[in-house]
Amino acid sequence: MTYVQGVVQLTPLDDLYVERLARTLVAIHRLPVPKTSYVYKPYSNTRDVPTWATEIAAWDWASATAPASSEQIRFIHRDFHPVNVLYDSREKYNVVDWVNACVGPIEADVAHCRLNLALLESVEVADRFLKFYQAMSGLTYDRRWDLNAVFDFGPETITVYPGWEAYGKRNLSQDNVRKRLENFVLKVYENNESGY
């Protein structure tokens, strides 16, 4: 194990922070693809509508929507989100927790981070992250990857991640995390309905 400097920063999730987060992920995705037996697999193959859902049409659509595919197979972190990124300076972030790193679709990392940002703050922050990532990488993003991330999380049992509270994000509850998750699904559904 190697010690790296920095601290977890969960506030403010402003444009500077979100842009640097996106820049860090783009840098990871530009690394050479290693020869490895560790290959991406979804954490879950089930797409069940949670019993607590209120936006049933959106959830039904999400559960019936086929998983997204990708042509962008690279080295991925697989658990890239703000708690695994240590803020060292305005120019440098260090990334930790590489245990799930593998070769796989870059969209899996983008979606996982987007979902974490949506749960921590809002869909708008997640959208800003995507905008920065796309501007730097040129990625055309299929928002069905957001649904892959949602169902990987296990929406039925989603709760406040202890790491968020440990690093000062104390305004979260199971109810508002569920609501933010549902807003995330609803945004994908509405974008699909409007022909995004």
Q: Which two tokens stand for residue 187?
A: 């945004």
Looking at 2.60.120.10, 3.40.50.1950, 3.90.1200.10, 3.40.50.2000, the CATH number of the domain 7-193 comes to: 3.90.1200.10
pTM: 0.95
Measured torsion, CA atoms of residues 14, 158, 146, 182, in degrees rounded to the nearest 10: -80
Please, what's the b/e burial string for 30-46 (b: 16 or more CB within 10 A of its CB; e: otherwise)?
A: eeeeeeeeeebeeeeee
d(CA 66, CA 163): 31
pLDDT of 195 reads 55
How would DSSP label each residue in 80-116? -SGGGEEE-SSS-EEE---TT-EEEEHHHHHHHHHHH
Each residue's pLDDT, cut to its tens digit, for the chain (196 residues) gives 678 889 998 988 899 999 999 999 999 999 999 998 899 999 999 999 999 999 999 999 999 999 999 999 999 999 999 999 998 876 778 999 999 999 999 999 999 999 999 999 999 999 999 999 999 999 999 999 999 999 999 999 999 999 999 999 999 999 999 999 999 999 999 988 765 4
